[in-house]
């Protein structure tokens, strides 16, 4: 998320407000996939829903890695809609997987730990991508603009998504529902 508003502002010359509005399709995509991701996580397990979500996020990020100053804005917004769909498809099974097998009294502690891990991981990811973008902006040639630097940073984001895609295979598959005890 750190690259997207900066891309709209620095490469496309949009105002901060307009850049924020141009990100709306990603939120809409996330909203649309939430009910589907929850049901599929229950049916298929966290592993395959998260794997598919990461694949969608990675593929939908590629257009930004290839974008120029003249890439069609509607095309990029459509990519954001798809990207948002994938993001929610990742976040729901990851959150649910954190609570599998816990006793009732362990759930509040797991919730806190999960939230802290998300915050620290997100901050770390933002910092890494910001450093990559900064280095790309500083090292660009005389004939290249900021679009090429952003392309490089977006390729790194796609690469990180590919790593997450592989790591998602370590998530639990479908967990069988407990069999009710006969009374």
pLDDT tens, residue by residue, 51-69? 999 999 999 999 999 998 8
How far apart, in Å, are the Cα atoms of 3 and each of 117, 128, 130, 150? 21, 11, 8, 8
DSSP state of 7: I
The half-sphere exposure of 146 on its side-chain side, counting CA atoms within 13 A, is 11
Yes or no: domain 3-170 corresponds to CATH 1.20.1250.20: yes
Question: Is residue 130 very low, low, confident or very high in pLDDT (cuts 50, 70, 90)?
Answer: very high
Measure CA 20 to chain center: 17
Q: How far is Cα 146 from Cα 168, in angstroms, rounded to an integer? A: 33
Specify the higher pLDDT residue, 67 or 141: 67
pLDDT digits (tens, 9 = 90+) for 31-45: 999 888 888 887 888
What's the token pair of residue 51?
């794997």
CB 148, CB 55: distance < 8 Å: no
What are the sequence ranges of the domains in the chain?
Answer: 3-170
The residue-averaged pLDDT of 128-135 equals 93
Q: Please tell me the pTM assigned to this model.
A: 0.84
Per mean pLDDT, which range of 37-41, 78-82, 120-124 is the poorest?
37-41
């Amino acid at each position: 998320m750190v690259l997207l508003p900066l891309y709209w502002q620095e490469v496309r010359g949009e105002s901060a407000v307009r850049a924020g509005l141009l990100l709306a399709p990603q939120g809409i995509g996330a909203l649309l996939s939430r009910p589907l991701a929850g049901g599929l996580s229950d049916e298929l397990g966290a592993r395959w829903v998260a794997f598919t979500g990461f694949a969608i996020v990675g593929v939908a990020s590629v257009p930004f890695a290839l974008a120029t100053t003249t890439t069609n804005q509607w095309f990029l917004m459509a990519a954001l809609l798809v990207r948002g769909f994938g993001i929610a498809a990742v976040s729901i099974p990851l959150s649910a997987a954190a609570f599998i097998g816990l006793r009732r009294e362990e759930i509040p502690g797991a919730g806190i730990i999960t939230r802290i891990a998300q915050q620290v991981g997100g901050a770390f990811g933002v910092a890494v991508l910001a450093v990559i973008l900064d280095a790309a902006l500083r090292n660009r040639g005389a004939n290249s603009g900021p679009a090429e630097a952003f392309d490089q940073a977006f390729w790194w984001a796609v690469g990180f998504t590919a790593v997450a895609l592989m790591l998602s295979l370590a998530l639990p598959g479908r967990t069988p529902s407990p069999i009710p005890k006969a009374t």
